[in-house]
Amino acid sequence: MAKVVTLGITTISFAPIAGDGGAGTVFTAVESTKKDSAEMTQDDPTRTELREEESDSPYYVSVVNGAISFKFTFAQPDVNALALVFGGSVTAGPPASWELPDGYQSIEKTVKIVPRVGLQFLIPRAQVTAKMNGKFGTTDSWGVEVTISILTPTKAGTKALKVTNPT
């Protein structure tokens, strides 16, 4: 069996969640991911042990998987990318503009992550949170840090994460 190496980013794309609660299919790709900013993490599992006073060993152990998330930074976001991850709408120009919505906007999308080589990731339902985070220097650029948190899909039989071998 061939080993699979997964590295780099080709595209990170977002789609509205399908009307039936499954994965969306009409994706908008984000064109510019800051070098070495993309990462996937999983929290440690939560372990609960039920014990009796009379024994040192648990009589029941429950384990719940830790949350999985992806994080990356847009290297060169435009107003369309800002609307995609913060909410709000773009006003046509010229020049086009976007305004930060009042209050927190809960953004849920289908997310597809395609690396340069290796496994591909599809998240049918994800919470998208973003924060403006970057420098205005000569050796770094302003950016938007985005966190993708995997949520349970609302469509029955749809799994929270689909990982596909490269074609």
Single out the residue of 65, 45, 13, 20 nearest to residue 158, CA to CA.
Answer: 20
Residues of the chain with pLDDT under 50: none
Question: Rounded to 5 degrees, what are φ and ψ at 68?
Answer: -110, 135
Rounded distance between C-alpha atoms, residue 166 and residue 150, angstroms: 22
Contacts of 5 (CB under 8 A, 6+ apart): 117, 118
pLDDT for residue 3: 84
- pLDDT score at 167: 72
Predicted model pTM: 0.85
Question: Phi and psi of 31, rounded to 5°?
Answer: -85, -20
Give domain limits for the chain: 11-164
pLDDT of residue 133: 82
CA-closest candidate to residue 111, choices 145, 66, 160, 43: 160
Burial 71-80 (b: 16+ CB within 10 A, else e): ebbbbebebe
pLDDT given for residue 16 in this prediction: 95
Structure token digits, residue 91: 């006003």
